[in-house]
Amino acid sequence: MCGRYALDVSPDSLPDEFGKQGLHVDEVQGSDVRSHHQYNIGPMCTVPVYYCTIQNSNNHQEQHLFEKHLVQYMKWSLIPSWIHNTDQSKKTYPTFNARYEALDHSKLWKSVLHQRCVVPIRGYFEWKTYSKNQKEPYFIKRKDDTLMFLAGFYSKTTIDANEVYSFTIVTREAPKQLVWLHERMPVVLDPGTEDFSKWLEPKKKNLDDVKSYLKVYNKTNLEWYRVGSDVGNVKNEGKKLIEPFKESKNNIMSMMSTSPKKVKPEPSEANVIEDVKKEEKKQDEIIQPKTELETGIKLEKSPIPRKKRVAISDLLKGSPSKKKKI
């Protein structure tokens, strides 16, 4: 699962940052509606996504098609293309992740298979679960601190005469090096590889043509370490959220003298966590158009609260862990 990540790059700096890995950016669009979060990005934030499209040269003397590489700021949590009014678009859909195993039989994902993208991140957060109320956050990133790119799908719909872009991140089983932390992981695609370029190739329309590029990431260029529990509150922001956790003397003495207190999660956050679990088990439990005849998908009301959309409950502090590398 991938429900929180960091990207500390401004819109103006994105082309240069992409250029470090040989990626060309023709245009950056939609940055005026971007979210302010950089170190604690969660579902429903508006963030940059990279994709390729085929366009016409519009040359009156000679017309030819060419590929254009775009960075488009999109809302994280895919909004189906059949949603066309503001009230429906404001609902929180459990579509921030698309399970690899569900791609070939989920009607929602089938509708966007031709709209593939990659999501640039500095690194992502994952929680090690010890018990229902005791979890520790970790930050996973590249050893060389360059951007990671996650495989995704995007959707474009018109809502009240405005174009709205949204996206989801593809996940599959974690490699053996990270399964101790979580059983799933976002699919990572490295620039300069065939998997990366073929995934973005706009001419490929079928899942069978691209699914083989979504591999379990077994490379040794990642590192991870524990971070502070402040990242558990989506309202928190700042570079300190991605810095290695340091245990204070007070915390150590408290752990030695008394048993740890259980932290009761806020009701809304507990509901979100439970909903994510249901989403992972029920691949097609997703969206609803107005009629079943349009898409064949039954309408179901999302259990995620409207105002407090996606947040992860505050996490108990535990024993420190050393910085580990794959």
Residue 150 pLDDT exceeds 80: yes
Q: What is the pLDDT of residue 85?
A: 76
CATH at 132: 3.90.1680.10
Q: What is the pLDDT of residue 9?
A: 96
Range of 154-158, 207-211, 315-319 with top mean pLDDT: 154-158
φ, ψ dihedrals at 33, nearest 5°: -110, 20
Residue 268 pLDDT exceeds 50: no
Q: Among 52-66, 124-138, 173-187, where is mean pLDDT lowest?
A: 52-66
281 vs 39 pLDDT, higher one: 39
Q: What is the pLDDT of residue 278?
A: 55
Range of 59-68, 245-254, 298-307 with top mean pLDDT: 59-68
Q: What is the pLDDT of residue 23?
A: 97
Residue 308 pLDDT exceeds 60: no
How many alpha carbons fall within 13 Å on the CB side of residue 125?
Answer: 31
* Full domain range(s) for residue 206: 5-325
Long-range contacts of the stretch 174-183 (C-beta < 8 A, 24+):
174/216, 175/216, 175/217, 175/218, 176/218, 177/218, 177/222, 177/326, 178/126, 178/140, 178/224, 178/326, 180/128, 181/126, 181/128, 181/138, 181/224, 182/1, 182/126, 182/127, 182/128
Q: How many domains does the chain have?
A: 1
Q: What is the pLDDT of residue 118?
A: 98
321 vs 311 pLDDT, higher one: 321
Q: What is the pLDDT of residue 184?
A: 96
